[in-house]
Amino acid sequence: MDNEQLKSNLTSSKHWLRLVFMLLFAAVLQLASLVMWVLVAVQFVFSLITGEDNQHLRRFGHSLSTYIYNVLKFLCYSSEEKPFPFADWPANSSAEPEVAVQPALVADAPEEAAK
């Protein structure tokens, strides 16, 4: 890289504007992480009391985790698209977020594996 290219990069407002947005979204990420921890605690207490999770909290947690993922993609230069409020809030799909199946449960069914 020559000195002209370096000088051009250092004086480009595009890079400095992105830095401002990155600092803003880094602060938003900290706040979103705090909200996620509160959500985790509330969901745990709700589950402890009622015996099952709250579907509304699960949907919000799903969209919040998608938002956090979008912020991280922007911060790591994996995406040029700025997350909410410059884009729409991540929409929940019409289906419920899937609950992961534990591999040990699948391995315990030898009849299914043989088919």
For 27-57, the pLDDT digits (tens) are: 999 999 999 999 999 999 999 999 999 999 9
**Do the Cβ atoms of 74 and 23 come closer than 8 Å?**
no
Residue 69: which H helix or E strand, with range? helix 55-75
Give 7 or 44, the one with higher predicted confidence: 44
Query: Residue 65's closest CA among 87, 101, 37?
Result: 37
Give rounded-to-5 percent helix, strand, coil for the chain.
Answer: 70, 0, 30
